[in-house]
Amino acid sequence: MTLAATTELAAATNENLASISNTLIYSAMAVYTLAFFAYIAEWLLGSRSKVGRTAAALTPEAKAKAKGGPAVTVKKNGGTAVLERPQVVVRSAAGARDVPDGPGAHGGDEQGDMYGRIAISLTVLAFLVELGGVIARAASVERAPWGNMYEFNITFSTVAVGVYLTLLVLKKNVRWLGLFLITSVLLDLGLAVTVLYTASDQLVPALHSYWLYIHVSTAILCGAVFYVGAVTTVLYLFKDSYENKLATGGKPGKFANSVLDRLPASASLDKFAYRVNAAAFPLWTFTIIAGAIWAGDAWGRYWGWDPKETWAFITWVGYACYLHARATAGWKGRKAAYLALIAFGCWLFNYYGVNIFVSGKHSYAGV
């Protein structure tokens, strides 16, 4: 076989792999859509169980539990007297909590739980299909599948779902995150295939380095974990306001009662968001260091305040401030949560804003 024929065969093979990748990505979107409706069913059918929870709350045992535990019977002067335990204070001070975690999206309803398990199964299937699409894309270009924004997007959403499923495998109480995660994954993939799509192509010489695998892969993983932390932080802020209103005698609306009371307590959400952000922060530090080393190899200088480098550093400072605030009196809770969201906003701008609107040395990756 001649060299020209070999080259033509290789090009045809790569084109077929790219086509397979596109088909798998669209198939994954279809399965994610089914999972989305299953998560919706879990929340809707789970809300029906609120009638049962309300009825249970009217029983004497539940009333006693709500007041801090069962009534205490004591003997007094030959007779008996019943002393009720004092009511538990929901929020005695800023940051103090005595609120149990909610039952989850299914709300304790068996049918809702069934749809939730179906949603998880569909999420696993969609994840595997999308992972196949990412691998096929990598095979079609014969390199790491994150050389442009389209490839970064499909890889990022795959890793984000992978992080969620890993937490479930580790028996973490995060199934309530499914609906919010899959919604954003569908939006991410929709943006990728309609606006950011780029045909398979080779990279410029500067990107042909093993640092592409090290630097960009850790950036994707950090972004996925930061995303999970950001969604949890937003839910924490809503749950915290919900608990505050209950503690002050307010009456939340029907939607808040139907949704927020099934989420974990605000203290649990706050702790979970802190842990995932704290776990990703050292990796983000390594990402910046690895990028600097790669810049030294590719451009002859380690740091030049390129827009991408600048916003990566701003993101690092934002999360450093958040972690410091969590350990500082007077900055825990909502103030620290706002810092976490600002830091994640910097990460988003570092990816979308800098790549699309700002020119720099990183612009050669293309859209």
* Token pair listed for 213: 């695998």
Question: What are the backbone dihedrals phi and psi of residue 72, each rounded to the nearest 5 degrees, phi first?
Answer: -105, 130
Q: What are the angstrom distances between the C-alpha of 332 and each of 95, 182, 230, 345? A: 7, 29, 16, 20
* Token pair listed for 164: 């969620």
pLDDT at 62: 41
| Full-model pTM | 0.80
pLDDT at 287: 92
pLDDT at 231: 93
pLDDT at 91: 38
DSSP symbols for 136-182: HHHHHHTS-S-SSHHHHHHHHHHHHHHHHHHHHHTT-S-GGGHHHHH
pLDDT at 205: 64
Mean pLDDT by 10 residues, the chain (367 residues): 59 78 94 95 71 42 43 46 39 52 78 90 96 92 82 92 93 89 93 86 69 87 93 93 85 79 89 93 93 82 83 94 84 88 93 75 52
